Amino acid sequence: MKKHDKIISFIFMFIMMVTAIFWVNSTTSWSMMGTLASVACFVLFVLLGLRIIPVLTDFVLTNPAPEVTLENKTRDRKQAWLYIIGWVVASRVLLMIIGYIFLIIQNGYSGGLFSKIAETWHISGIDASHYLGIAENWYVTEGDPKYHIVFFPFFPNLIKVVQVFVGNYLVAGFIVSNICSLVAALVAYELAALDMHRKSAMRVVKYIFIFPAAFFFFIPMTESLFLALSLLCLYFVRKKEWLIGCLCGALAAYTRSPGVLLIVPVAIEFARELIGNYKLLDKKAFIHKLTTAIGCLAIISMGLLAYLYINYYVTGNAFQFSIYQREHWSQKFYLFFDTVRYQMEYAVGTFKSGDSRSFLGMWLPNLIAIFSALIIMFMGARKLRPSYTAYFIVYFAFVVGATWLLSAPRYLLVAFPLAFAAVTLTNEKPKDVALTVISVVGSILYLAMFVAGYPVY
């Protein structure tokens, strides 16, 4: 290991150990299973960090030459796009039919497929109803809807626009989500095709849409929009279209709070570009390139700042959303491995008490999603573009570090490096088939629990 890698690894380990000591001193609730799960999560995360450090520094510091990306021929791209469009449309139709069949199995026939779409997808029982309410009434300061300020505005903005043409907010929500799903699929393919052959890029798209929580791409929720914008951000940055890429990043940050974390992979890509041009540019040109990079990075934060301004304009407090999250949902940011502790304790508790709905619908899927994501990323880290892995690390720590995490499979679904890592681990057909079967079976079971009214959010 190189000297700078040793120094960075030491700093990383020191920070993690200080964090662990703080956790030990501040935690008052302990159980054997919860502690073991927390320690396992902590160790996996540390190992992932240590594994990526030398790869990341090598990527930034010792690869200054202009990179060569794999570009598809125009004919191949056209064929691929047509295939992806057909596959996404067909999968949306199939998903709608399967969900409806599950509803009939549970409740019996009581209406047609389209008349029961809101009931099938529990629109009134998940965040979709809040986004539709914002689209129709914007943010308000009275009654229960005042808490909707915690939901970011870009998705409702798009629903509002589409509703003008279709005349129905629910229909508009489904249209926006599914158009964004299609965009996400196409951009995922194009981004993957910069580094992979066409068949592997196709498999990236496949895994994104067969991971167990992927049915949320179909519903009026932010997942498809956020994923599409995140992929667009990285794609344009990879193509050296810095401004467009960072504008997409800003829109992602205007869609969901983790969008601002796109600053991390973009900054890494910028650093690599700057180092690669350091000896080729004169001082004035280099400073101009550096200031441009800093300015573009600042653009990504504008999405979050716009949301904070809306908080201030509506409530008088730019951080009112955090107050509502804490007081109304008991939601704060804490340590991701402590999240695993209480998730395991709830899982054990609900299993022992016979509360199978909570155990199977929430706590077990959360734990499976968290550990599966860490294991897949750890195994694929050295084969994955380091900026993608770095993004996953900060994204994981952020979204899993919630003090009341209910939706780990959905949150981790849009961490696009997972699908890229899955492809790097399944180049052999038997492995690809195995992971595909596991994902599809998991998707069907998770969808069945969702339609049956289990606590799947």
Cβ atoms of 226 and 176 closer than 8 Å: no
pLDDT at 72 over 60: no
CA distance 159 to 255: 13
CA distance 261 to 388: 11
Per residue in 251-306, pLDDT (tens digit) is 999 999 999 999 999 999 999 988 877 767 778 888 888 898 899 999 999 999 99
Cβ atoms of 399 and 335 closer than 8 Å: no
Say whether 292 sits in a helix, a strand or coil.
helix
CA distance 252 to 233: 8
CA distance 43 to 178: 38
Confidence of residue 73 (pLDDT cuts 50, 70, 90): low
Tell me the CA distances in angstroms from 252 to 218, 228, 232, 234, 257, one per residue in order.
Answer: 18, 9, 10, 11, 8
Cβ atoms of 338 and 38 closer than 8 Å: yes
Per residue in 338-395, pLDDT (tens digit) is 999 999 999 999 999 999 999 999 999 999 999 999 999 999 999 999 999 999 999 9
Q: Look at residue 253 in the predicted model and tell me its pLDDT.
A: 98
Structure tokens at 454: 């289990």
Q: Look at residue 111 in the predicted model and tell me its pLDDT.
A: 87
Q: How many residues does the chain have?
A: 457
Per residue in 144-180, pLDDT (tens digit) is 999 999 999 999 999 999 999 999 999 999 999 999 9
Cβ atoms of 392 and 415 closer than 8 Å: yes
- Indicate if the alpha-carbon torsion angle 408, 256, 216, 431 is positive or negative: negative
Confidence of residue 30 (pLDDT cuts 50, 70, 90): confident
- What's the average model confidence in pLDDT over 237-264? 97
- Indicate if the alpha-carbon torsion angle 297, 15, 403, 355 is positive or negative: positive
Percent of the chain with pLDDT over 90: 87
Cβ atoms of 122 and 138 closer than 8 Å: no
Per residue in 92-140, pLDDT (tens digit) is 999 999 999 999 999 898 888 888 999 999 999 999 999 999 999 999 9
pLDDT at 406 over 60: yes
For 407, the enclosing helix (H) or strand (E) is none
Cβ atoms of 324 and 144 closer than 8 Å: no
Whole-number CA gyration radius for the chain: 22
Tell me the CA distances in angstroms from 251 to 55, 233, 304, 305, 422, one per residue in order.
Answer: 30, 9, 9, 11, 27
Confidence of residue 60 (pLDDT cuts 50, 70, 90): very high
pLDDT at 27 over 70: yes
Percent of the chain with pLDDT over 70: 97
Averaged confidence pLDDT in the chain: 94
DSSP string of 241-274, one letter each residue = -HHHHHHHHHHHHTT-GGGGGGHHHHHHHHHHHH
CA distance 174 to 96: 11
- What's the average model confidence in pLDDT over 82-94? 96
Q: Look at residue 260 in the predicted model and tell me its pLDDT.
A: 98
- Nearest partner of 210 among 432, 2, 430, judged by Cα: 432
Tell me the CA distances in angstroms from 286 to 31, 54, 299, one per residue in order.
Answer: 55, 26, 20
